[in-house]
Amino acid sequence: MQDYEASLQSYNRAVQLDGKSKTAWNGMQASYTALKDYEKAAAAAAKVTEIDPKNKANWYNEGNLLQSQGNFEASLPKYDGAISMDPLYKDALYRKGISLIAVNNTTGAVALFDQVLEIDPNHKQACNAKGLALEMAGSYEESLAAYDQALGLDPKFVQAQDNKMHALMAMGRQNEALKIFIGV
């Protein structure tokens, strides 16, 4: 039925009865997320992490909610919490890399994307994001190689095609960029 307001009322009552009810806080987080109230969703996620700090998914979810609000700096320690429990947690490594790009730490981002690709060489999003970080750092040739790696995994990966086109244009290689643009 998706009556999130009624759900929130129920979860609030449950929290009043038991402030450490992980189920109620998770429900609040999901309802606020569905309502696109990411600030309240992140606050509920923080309570879940506080109640159950040994669950890497709690740290990861809280990081994602902070990231979705543009709070990239604040998301970093949340991803670190997840990664400290599982150094091979590729989703947390990838999302932390995205936050590092947003705070202009392209070197750190590239290192994380390389870690993701060691864990999963077929992670096309990590290839693409690595290309973006390298492009931001002015390493255009390396960025093209990363975009080509992503396109080798999925030739129809539009985001990687667009990013490659922009890198080529920044390099003054408009004819190559236009071939991508017109689909040749």
Per-residue pLDDT of the chain (184 residues; tens, 9 = 90+): 478 888 888 888 888 888 888 889 988 888 998 899 999 999 999 998 999 999 999 999 999 999 999 999 999 999 999 999 999 999 999 999 999 999 999 999 999 999 999 999 999 999 999 999 999 999 999 999 999 999 999 999 999 999 999 999 999 999 999 999 998 7
Q: Rounded to an integer, what distance in angstroms lies between the CA atom of residue 116 and that of residue 108?
A: 13
Sole residue written with tokens 């009043």? 16
Residue 96 pLDDT: 98
- Per DSSP, the chain holds a count of helices (H) and strands (E) of 11, 0
Q: Give the total residue count for the chain.
A: 184
Task: Answer for the pair 101, 131: CB distance below 8 angstroms, yes or no.
Answer: no
pLDDT of residue 146: 98
What's domain 124-184's architecture?
Alpha Horseshoe (1.25)
Question: In the chain, what percentage of residues exceed pLDDT 90?
Answer: 76
The pLDDT score that the predictor gives to residue 4 is: 82
Angstrom distance (rounded) from CA 140 to CA 126: 17
CA dist 164 and 150 (Å) reads 10
pLDDT for 21 equals 87
Give me the pLDDT at residue 92, please: 98
d(CA 75, CA 112): 15
Q: Where are the domains of the chain?
A: 124-184
Which residue has 């060489």 as its token pair?
A: 121
